[in-house]
Amino acid sequence: MEKHILKADERKRLDLFLSQKLDYTRSYLQKLIKEGCVTVNGQIVKPSLMLAEGDLIELQVKEPTELSIPKEDKPLEIVYQDEYLAIVNKTAGVVVHPVGRQRENTLVNRLLFHLKDLSAIGGVIRPGIVHRLDKDTSGLLVVAKTNEAHLKLSELLKEHKIERNYITLLKGNLKDKKGAINLPIGRMNKNEIKMGISPSGRRAVTHYRVIEEIGPYTLVAVGLETGRTHQIRVHFAYLGHPVVGDYLYGGEMGTDVSLTRHFLHAYEISFFHPIIKRKIVAYAMLPEELREVLKELRNKWKKKK
């Protein structure tokens, strides 16, 4: 058991104060506070407690649970890495981290085999995981190899300083060739994975630009300002133009499209490296399966013109 004793030196929210004093993320500290691992003047409190100068804070962190997730010697494309972080190109069909009873065939299993070090801040289930991609979305993810990198990358994400760009194929033709979708997203039902537009949801902003219209389909470049669950899929489905192959949000495929996943790929990620202080830009080519779909559609709809 690791124990920290601190004295408040200013009036500030408890969770914010601890995140600025200790090497833990604010969300992890909030979890510890809610679990009763933090006391202020001997009392269990809430993360939102406003500290007074001189308050005595005690924090107890349990020893990390032994990692029971197996390492898997399966393909992993590492696009960039240094001693602090790595950028990997996730294939479609791979879940990012273990969930429920699934302890195998996730990106984490592969990371544990291919990378010597991973940050521990995400816990035993999510070592190194700073952000995620949906199971059937391919493309680039940044992974933290040290706790310092994890904290600083998380801060960059929160401040919208990690640029993430995608390519997607939509059903139908968009009215505007470029624009921004600013609609809050929330879970439709606590027991379902489906998300939707909700006035009580979290702020979600998606920027887009039409690349090409291919008959009744549109190829679009997308940039994320925020990173909500299923954000791109939910926003375009709401506009009536769901992602091709996305059955959850109405993107059922016609006879002219054959896909085993939805057409969404994270092709570019860029940020200013918070430790070595230089710009990092990484790219991942559109997977062959998606390139083949575009080729077939162009051939078909070009002939019909």
Active-site positions read 134
Q: What is the residue whose two structure tokens read 């479609």?
A: 92
288 Rama sector, left if φ>0, alpha if ψ -120 to 50, beta otherwise: alpha
Residue 30's CB is within 10 A of a number of other CB atoms, namely 20
Burial of 262: CB neighbours in 10 Å, binned 0-12, 13-18, 19+? buried
Concatenated DSSP letters of 191-216: T---EEE-TTSB--EEEEEEEEEETT
Q: Give the list of residues 6+ apart from residue 118 with CB closer than 8 angstroms, or none.
A: 111, 112, 127, 128, 143, 144, 145
Instruction: Identify any residues that bridge with 60 across adjacent strands, giving them in sequence order.
Output: 3
Radius of gyration of the chain (CA): 22
Burial of 123: CB neighbours in 10 Å, binned 0-12, 13-18, 19+? middle
